[in-house]
Amino acid sequence: MIFLRILGIILMAFGLFLSFVIPVAGIIGLILGLLCVIRSSPKLADRINLSLSKKAAKSRQQAETLKMELEDKLKKHEEFERQVSAIKSEAVVTRTEGNRQRMEAAGLSMYIWSTCGDERVCEACKIMDDKLCLWADPTVYSRNKGKEWIPRPTGASLEHPGEKDGCRCTSLAYEPELLGEL
């Protein structure tokens, strides 16, 4: 051990001297010398190991903090998305409710179910497309201009248009009723 330390000190001294003449060789000598001194002293080596593991622990901790921050941000983002979709479906329900109130205020008790007609329309709505419905009962429809109200077909929506999450359907006034021809 003592031999290694002496060798290290000699190397370092030699490296220091050499660095004035040949910088690269000098620096290599210095580093080699330093390594010898470190290896020769178990305590010093331990201390270096300790500080390295402290650094590792610190960066682990930093990574952990970063992960938590990211998770927090993700959670906030998801909460935001959730709120946006809640507001959106709220708006649809409000629109449906608005339609119903306007129609009923105008004395209209029926409506025609109208889908967007594209491929995103769900099966439950597709079944109801163009059917004559009753505001007072979302489970029925009529095939004879409102004379008789029968249960909606199996698989059909049992709500008014736009009430279900993501439903873009709307209600149209039934023309004969609108014109007072019934």
User: Interface with Zn ion by CB under 5 A: which residues?
Assistant: 125, 167, 169
Q: Which is nearer to Zn ion, 8 or 162 (CB)?
A: 162
Q: Kindly state the smallest distance separating residue 179's Cβ from Zn ion, in Å.
A: 27
Q: Which is nearer to Zn ion, 103 or 125 (CB)?
A: 125
Q: Kindly state the smallest distance separating residue 115's Cβ from Zn ion, in Å.
A: 6
Q: Which is nearer to Zn ion, 12 or 167 (CB)?
A: 167
Q: Which is nearer to Zn ion, 60 or 120 (CB)?
A: 120
Q: Is the Cβ–Cβ distance between 173 and 105 less than 8 Å?
A: no
Alpha carbon distance 26, 157 (integer Å): 85
Q: Kindly state the smallest distance separating residue 167's Cβ from Zn ion, in Å.
A: 3
Alpha carbon distance 171, 89 (integer Å): 16
Residue among 154, 135, 146, 130 nearest 182 (CA): 146
Q: Kindly state the smallest distance separating residue 148's Cβ from Zn ion, in Å.
A: 24
